[in-house]
Structure 1
Amino acid sequence: MKRIPSVCYCILLLALFAQPELTVAEDQPSDFTRPHFQVSRPPINNKTQPDRAMHADLSTFADEAWILPVRSSHLSPGQITSRALSMPGLRPFFLIGDDSQSLTWLRQRAAELQEMGAAGLAVEVADNEALARIRAAAPGITILPVNGNDIAIRLQIEHYPVLITATSLEQ
Structure 2
Amino acid sequence: MKRIPLICYFILLLATFAQPELTVAEDQPSDFTRLHFQVARPPINNEIQPNRAMHADLSTFADEAWILPVRSSHLSPGQITSRALNMPGLRPFFLVGEDPQSLAWLRQRATELQEMGAAGLAVEVTDTEALARIRAAAPDITILPVNGNDVATRLQIEHYPVLITATSLEQ
TM range (shorter): 0.5 to 0.7
Say if 1:50 and 1:114 are closer, same or farther in 2 by CA, change over 3 A.
Answer: same
Query: What amino acid sits opposite 2:66 in the alignment?
Result: W
Q: Which residue of 1 aligns with 2:46?
A: none
Aligned residues: 126
Counterpart-to-counterpart distance in 2, 1:119 and 1:57 = 10
Q: Which residue of 2 aligns with 1:102?
A: 102
Counterpart-to-counterpart distance in 1, 2:152 and 2:80 = 12
Where structure 2 has 5 or more consecutive residues not aligned to the other structure, the ranges are 1-18, 26-35, 42-55
1:55-99 superposed Cα distances (whole Å, 9 cap, x missing partner): x97343342100000000000000000000000000000000000
Does the CA contact (< 8 Å) of 2:59 and 2:144 recur in 1?
Answer: no
Say if 1:49 and 1:136 are closer, same or farther in 2 by CA, change over 3 A.
Answer: farther
Q: Which residue of 1 aligns with 2:136?
A: 136
Does the CA contact (< 8 Å) of 2:58 and 2:142 recur in 1?
Answer: no
What does 1:18-37 align with in structure 2 at a 5 Å threshold?
none
Query: What amino acid sits opposite 2:129 in the alignment?
Result: E
Say if 1:102 and 1:49 are closer, same or farther in 2 by CA, change over 3 A.
Answer: farther
Kindly report the root-mean-square deviation, in angstroms, between the aligned alpha carbons of the 2 structures. 2.5
Q: Which residue of 1 aligns with 2:33?
A: none
Q: Runs ≥4 in structure 1, deviation > 4 angstroms? A: none
**Quick check: 1:91 aligned with 2:74?**
no
Counterpart-to-counterpart distance in 1, 2:74 and 2:57 = 28
Counterpart-to-counterpart distance in 2, 1:57 and 1:98 = 19
1:19-54 superposed Cα distances (whole Å, 9 cap, x missing partner): xx9xxxxxxxxx89xxxxxxxxxxxxxx967488xx
**Fraction of identical pairs, as percent:** 86
Say if 1:168 and 1:49 are closer, same or farther in 2 by CA, change over 3 A.
Answer: farther
TM-score, normalised on structure 1?
Answer: 0.68
Query: What amino acid sits opposite 1:115 in the alignment?
Result: E
Find the residue that maps to 2:104 and give its secondary structure: helix
Query: What amino acid sits opposite 1:126 in the alignment?
Result: T
TM-score, normalised on structure 2?
Answer: 0.68
Where structure 1 has 5 or more consecutive residues not aligned to the other structure, the ranges are 1-20, 22-30, 33-46
Find the residue that maps to 2:120 and give its secondary structure: strand
Q: Which residue of 2 aligns with 1:15?
A: none
